[in-house]
Structure 1
Amino acid sequence: MDTKNAYVVAIIIQVIYTGMFVLIKATLNQGFSTFVLVFYCQAAACLPLVPIAALRERRNARSMSFMLLLKLFLCALLGNTFSINILNASLKYTSATVQSAISNSKPVVIFCLALVLRMEVVKIRSSYGIAKVTGVALCLAGVFIIAFFTGPSLSPVNHHHAFHGHSSSNLMSRGTWIKGTFLKLLGDIAWAMWIVFQAALLKEYPNRMLVTVTQCVFGTVQTGVVAAVAERDIARWKLRLDITLVTVLYSGFVVSGLSNYLQVWCMEMKGPVFLAIWFPLGFVFTMFCSSFFLGEVIHLGSILGGILLTGGLYSVLWAKSKETAIEPCSEVNAIETFEIAYDEKEEKKLEGDQKKDKEEHEGEASITICN
């Protein structure tokens, strides 16, 4: 039953992210500020998390040092503030379809980051190493095709779309489109770095709930400061009873709350690779929904780029799954690799401390004998 539920949950997660792309794009099309929207979404995510964490962890929580708080602050700056603002800006400059397509590169970006940090090894002469390199090349090719090749356009599924706005990706210049595509890639790189750094933080302070909530609070303050500097017109901060309010509540409660819980459950049941292989389904959902609800014109370049990104994703995931099956002790993903390296470092440090204590104890014993 749990195995069957995992498939249903994986599909639900993709549906949730499809709704996020479409709603945020609809809000931005109405001219709402990206910076203010990010702040409201972060604040909405904090509303349920803070009281839940206070009730759940009030007896088990241990104090955080200043250095740990500083690390959490910097992590929030990277993952909650910089990454999300960049991703929303890229969505404003492109389309929901492009955002969903390039999201398929996230596992590949994490793999490349692990390779740079020497957490991952590529054996070029092996078939699995060739598959990894091919996957990275396909992802890069997909991004460049989306950025530089438009091709023929497909007519929207529904000409009387539900969400209207004065700006649309259909009217954007080529330069704006290219900028938005590479901003999306930059945002995904920042997100991947944030994911990897999370492993070290959780080793230092193994309380996932408090680490998440603390970063969420820091992120809310940081995005609030950024929005205040970027948007000084108070009229740009006004929330109306329209799609903007729906987007804020949906991003805060459904995406940051329900979706994150479902992803953790799904990964515990079937592993991170199982969750990643469903990303292309979100691309298909978003392509249809953005055309139906937003009236976006889908270009052949976006479809071809999405196909290449999907191929690159599956190539890397296939190689990793085969290596894991052959070498059970090998790393499953970048995060686990980081944790293994961190554990070895801590173990060596602990052995050194024990050796030092032993020497000091022997020294004290010899002094006692002499006396």
Structure 2
Amino acid sequence: MTRRWSLYMDVLPPVVIIGNECSDMALLTLFKAVTLQGMNNHVFIAYAYAVGTSVLLPVTLFNRSRRSRVVPPLSFSIICKSVLLGAIGCSSQILGYMSINYSSPTLASAIANLVPAFTFMLAVTFRMEKLAAKSRSSNAKVVGSIISIAGAFVMTFYKGPSIMNSSSLHQPAGFLKSVDSSWAIAGILLIFDYFLSSLWYILLVHILKEFPDELTIILFYSTTATIISIVVALLSVPKASAWKIGLNLSLVSVVCSAIFGKLIGNTVCAWSVRLKGAVYVTSFKPLQIVISAGLGVIFLGDTLHVGSIIGATIISIGLYAVLWGKATEEIEEDVGSLESPSNENAPLLQSSRTQTFENKTNGNV
């Protein structure tokens, strides 16, 4: 039982999170391809959320695992917070997809490294993280956050000369060629996008502490996002012709985004956050730039630039400074809890631990 729990807690979450990051970047690349063919991004988001919610509803209602888990009753406060989660998440998605229209998934994945820094800053603001002026871990988190933001600005406003021009590798796939324009606008939109994404993680952690049922929370989130995205799409794209989808790449992209992104991806994210926390989940964001760069060069004909490499390197340095500070802080807290004389107030627990130690010494365990 202990080995199974160790596998569940230590091995499965990183494997699932890495798979989710790969899926996200593949879906962004597929989205970029269909928008280059003429599909509107607002219509795409509305369709993806609608399909994802329609599949998630029966899955949530007939899920057996949630019946065996003891959860508190669903309150009006939890519903309101889940609706707010949907509004934040949908707004983040709209900004993110708009920015990809101006740039590429590679830029999006690079600036995604800001998510851990933004998450830490918001956690401090909402008193979910503590800061101490004389603590190395606190200073590392603060400096790392500043470095990450500086790297994002470098990547946004400085492209530099190209490192690899992949046009010669993609002559047959002309319709997939990315448009090199409005790079700075895309960067600014992405910064706002990932700030909202960090706020989404913070609110999700807060909700799951009160109501640890991922599927129900994601259902309310997805339903709210569906309503908002449909209203936004109808207001921005009133023409009925823009809503028509044939049996082509657009339909494949919408279905894949709904199933693997809106349904599985969000549920996996909520499950991982409940087990490991927001900082742990967001620490895997640097993998996106490696994945997206490869997918962009192969499928979109993207060109790598010096500014992208420099900015991503600066962001990664800041990111790992934040993670180092967080890990050091957790170790200090664990050591402090072991050294604290709190066991004096729990004689039964102390007696149990003493008996367990004696049993192990005698070879009984």
TM-score class normalised by the smaller sequence? 0.7 to 0.9
The amino acid across from 1:186 in the alignment is F
> Are 1:127 and 2:136 counterparts?
yes
Pair 279,125 (structure 1): closer, same or farther in 2 beyond 3 Å: same
Q: CA deviation at 1:101?
A: 0.8
Distance 1:84 1:277 in 2: 20
1:37 counterpart residue number? 44
Q: Displacement of 1:50 after TM fit?
A: 0.4
Matched residue, 2:178: 168
1:146 corresponds to which of 126, 149, 155: 155
* Structure 2 SS opposite 1:221: helix
Alpha-carbon distance between aligned partners in 1 of 2:87 and 2:73, rounded to the nearest angstrom: 22
Tell me how large the CA RMSD over aligned residues is. Answer: 2.9
Partners in 1 of 2:282 and 2:201 — Cα distance? 14
Task: Kindly indicate whether residue 307 of structure 2 is the aligned counterpart of residue 301 of structure 1.
Answer: yes
- The one of 112, 115, 123 equivalent to 1:103 is 112
Given residue 23 of structure 1, which amino acid in structure 2 is its aligned partner? L
* Amino acid aligned to 2:218: T
Q: Is the 8 A contact 2:156 2:184 kept in 1?
A: yes
Name which of structure 1's ranges 272-281 and 318-327 shifts more when overlaid on structure 2.
Answer: 272-281
Conserved? CA contact 1:46–1:213, under 8 Å? yes
| From 14, 30, 41, the counterpart of 1:23 | 30
Distance across 2 between alignment mates of 1:197 and 1:209: 16
Q: Deviations over 1:59-103 (max 9, x none)?
A: 799875555544432321122x21111111111112111101111
Please, which of 6, 21, 28 is the counterpart of residue 14 of structure 1? 21
- Residue 355 of structure 1 aligns with which residue? none
Task: Report the counterpart of residue 78 of structure 1 in structure 2.
Answer: 88
Q: In the TM superposition, what is the alpha-carbon distance from 1:41 to its structure 2 partner?
A: 1.1
Structure 2 counterpart of 1:17, which letter? D
How far the C-alpha of 1:238 sits from its partner, in A, is 1.3
Return the TM-score normalized by structure 2: 0.79
Structure 2 counterpart of 1:209: 215
Using the alignment, how far apart are the partners of 1:287 and 1:310 within structure 2? Answer: 15
Aligned residues: 325
- CA–CA distance in structure 2, aligned partners of residues 315 and 99 of structure 1: 21
- In 1, Cα distance between the equivalents of 2:17 and 2:73? 36
| AA matched with 1:149 | Y
Question: Which AA in structure 1 matches 2:305?
Answer: H
Cα deviation, residue 267, structure 1: 6.0
Structure 2 residue 230 is matched with structure 1 residue 233: no
* Cα distance between partner residues in 1 of 2:142 and 2:172: 42
One-letter amino acid matched to 2:98: A
Match of 1:51 in 2: 58
Q: Within 2, Cα distance between the matches of 1:69 and 1:162?
A: 50
The 3 A distance-change label for structure 1 pair 145 and 269 is same
Separation in 1, partners of 2:183, 2:103: 5
Q: Which amino acid aligns with 1:295?
A: G
Q: What code does the residue aligned with 2:101 have?
A: K
Matched letter for residue 30 of structure 2: L
Measure how far apart 1:271 and its partner are. Answer: 6.2
Give % identity. 29
Contact 1:156 1:292 in 2 (8 A): no
Conserved? CA contact 2:205–2:273, under 8 Å: no
Mark the runs of 5 or more structure 1 residues left unpaired by the alignment: 331-371
The one-letter code sitting in structure 2 at the alignment partner of 1:94 is S
SS in 2 for 1:327: helix
Counterparts of 1:268 and 1:135, CA distance in 2: 25
**CA displacement at 1:125 relative to structure 2:** 3.0
Is contact 1:29-1:164 (8 Å) kept? no
Corresponding residue for 1:136?
Answer: 145
Query: What corresponds to 1:286 in structure 2?
Result: 292
Q: 1:162, 1:293 within 8 Å by CA — same for their partners in 2?
A: no
Q: State the alpha-carbon separation in 1 of the partners of residues 48 and 291 from structure 2.
A: 23
CA-to-aligned-CA distance 1:196-240 (integer Å, 9 cap, x gap) = 223443455443322211221121111111101110011111112
Report how far residue 164 of structure 1 moved. 4.5
CA distance in 1, matches of 2:207, 2:283: 27
Asked if the contact 2:86–2:222 (Cα under 8 Å) also holds between the matched residues in 1, the reply is yes
SS state at 2:264 partner: helix
Change (3 A) 1:164 1:63: farther
